[in-house]
A and B are shown apart, each in its own frame.
Chain A
Amino acid sequence: MKPFAYARADSTDQAVSEALAPQTRFIAGGTNLLDLMKLQIETPAKLVDITRLPLNGVTPRDEGGVSIGALVPNSDLAADRHIIADYEVLSRALLAGASGQLRNKATTGGNLLQRTRCYYFYDTATPCNKREPGSGCSAIGGVNRILAVLGTSEKCIATHPSDMAVAMRALDATIVTQKADGDRRRIAIGDFYRLPGDTPHIETVLEPGELITAVELPPKVEGARHLYRKVRDRASYAFALVSVAGVVVMDGDTVASASLAFGGLAPMPWRNPAVEAAIVGKPATDANFAAAADALLADAKGFGSNDFKIPLARRTLIASLRELTGK
């Protein structure tokens, strides 16, 4: 690990002010950052320890919905009674990710910002545009079984590894931040992540030194059925090959509303309004579910060893919709 300076922040204002120094990273759970620092993939000059900040509550909001502090550990969020009752898809997604030990440490804000597990991002002996901009992508034409089929570019085909973020995308979460100059902003999760394009090393719209302080969820969807279906190589403790987060409301045999997000397929938690449009206001039939899968995968592109993800995503979506609609 490269040497770094360490500062512990006692307030959010102090944390963002400490982060004005170049090459600073906030550290909370540290489960991904320290992993990457040991491999010298991340080499921050300074760490700001934010674990003492009062950002660890799950609290109802006056306008409805809930505010989740950025430091709420994944375990505690999954076990929160309010989350289980009103946002079960989020509990399910959290419990499908990582291990008990990691969930006890990993935080809500950190989970949103975890980095890809692309083999080449981790292998410092190989080119990777995300790790070293301009060096090339080893995954295109290489081993890419776990990598993306949607939203890729010629520079990068990495997947975002989070389960939690997929559920949050389905729940229309808003990410609340504080910038180094003290300004706060609220960013819809759909606007938070960036596709790789020519700059795969820039993954979100966060500015240097900008701190996630909370994630807000809108009021619960009344009468909804929730599902998080994760397909992976092992029964437990493995990243998703494909995952589906769904929140669906039925009106008799008709799909009244649907919110669907996907993991394992793209560089960000994926959502495409055309998928939902293919089923909303229509009878819950396999033909309509197939149309939703067509919409999801219309632009899908495999890179060899991940070609299987395209039919797998299709079948996983259709199976998920059958379960969500009671078919």
Chain B
Amino acid sequence: MKFNINGKTHDADVDIRTSLLDLCREHLGLTGSKKGCDHGQCGACTMLVDGRRINSCLTLAVMHQDSEIVTIEGLGQVGDLHAMQDAFVRHDGYQCGYCTPGQICSAVGMLGEVEKGWASHASADLTAVELSDAEISERMSGNLCRCAAYPNIVDAIREVAGKGDRQPVLEAAREIGA
């Protein structure tokens, strides 16, 4: 099977049962994405697939051979961090760090959804979205942090959202590779 991950083509000969998460972690050496629950409950495995955040544990690799996949490695690397990675570091948006790659990929995908005007359960008006802290919390509820670094995670996301200068996800991934 052939995959397009972080702007690079990868070949892998994997069992049909392999999840997208296991493909990256076990076969391609991309261990940034984490396996928490393996059932779509914790969000640690969140990746960006065709620009959308998804739980990579709950999809089969074989179904994504023509998708553009971005993992945490593709968002940025040490010395050239994505704005969201940089904000998480500066705001101390983690303790143990296990959920962090999923949090960051999810936050980047989430801001893309806000840009498209998508409302959330926290939106009073479904046609006019403003990213309050309540909105950030609601939209990030699929990413659990057992260390409860939530206040700092919200701070980091609020800062990046406010700047409005996010690097486009796929473009950044192509530039940096992994």
Q: Give residues in A with beta carbon < 8 Å to B.
A: 1, 3-4, 6, 27, 30-31, 34-35, 38, 49, 51, 75, 78-79, 81, 84, 88, 91-92, 95-96, 98-102, 104-105, 235-237
Chain B interface, >50% SS class: loop
On whether the beta carbons of B43 and A99 are closer than 8 Å, the reply is yes
Q: Which residues of B contact A75 (CB under 8 A)?
A: 52, 113, 118
Choice from A38, A105, A237 contacting B59 with Cβ under 8 Å: A105
Distance to closest chain A CB from B7 (angstroms): 21
On whether the beta carbons of A95 and B121 are closer than 8 Å, the reply is yes
What is the CA–CA distance of A1 and B61 in the complex, to the nearest angstrom?
A: 14
On whether the beta carbons of B46 and A79 are closer than 8 Å, the reply is no
On whether the beta carbons of A34 and B59 are closer than 8 Å, the reply is yes
Count residues of chain B with CB under 8 A from any CB of chain A: 37
On whether the beta carbons of B126 and A101 are closer than 8 Å, the reply is no
Q: Which residues of A contact B62 (CB under 8 A)?
A: 6, 49
On whether the beta carbons of B59 and A101 are closer than 8 Å, the reply is no
Q: Give residues in B with beta carbon < 8 Å to A.
A: 16-17, 19, 38-40, 43, 46, 52-55, 58-60, 62-63, 106, 109-110, 113, 116-121, 123, 126-127, 137-143
Q: Give 30 pairs: A residue, B residue, CB < 8 Å, sorted on A.
A: A3-B16, A4-B17, A6-B60, A30-B63, A31-B58, A34-B19, A34-B59, A35-B40, A38-B38, A78-B118, A79-B118, A79-B119, A81-B127, A84-B119, A84-B126, A88-B126, A91-B119, A92-B121, A96-B121, A99-B43, A99-B141, A100-B106, A101-B46, A101-B53, A102-B142, A104-B53, A105-B54, A105-B55, A237-B141, A237-B142
Q: Which residues of A contact B60 (CB under 8 A)?
A: 6, 27, 30, 34
On whether the beta carbons of A236 and B54 are closer than 8 Å, the reply is no
On whether the beta carbons of B141 and A236 are closer than 8 Å, the reply is yes
Q: Which of A6, A34, A100 has the most CB of B within 10 A?
A: A100
On whether the beta carbons of B113 and A30 are closer than 8 Å, the reply is no
On whether the beta carbons of B53 and A100 are closer than 8 Å, the reply is yes
Query: Which single residue of chain B is at the shortest CB-CB distance from A238?
Result: B141
Q: Which residues of B contact A95 (CB under 8 A)?
A: 119-121, 123, 126
On whether the beta carbons of B58 and A35 are closer than 8 Å, the reply is yes
On whether the beta carbons of B59 and A104 are closer than 8 Å, the reply is no
Query: Which single residue of chain B is at the shortest CB-CB distance from A93?
Result: B121
Choice from B58, B123, B140, B143 contacting A34 with Cβ under 8 Å: B58
Choice from A1, A34, A236 contacting B137 with Cβ under 8 Å: A236
On whether the beta carbons of A100 and B109 are closer than 8 Å, the reply is yes
Q: Which residues of A contact B123 (CB under 8 A)?
A: 95
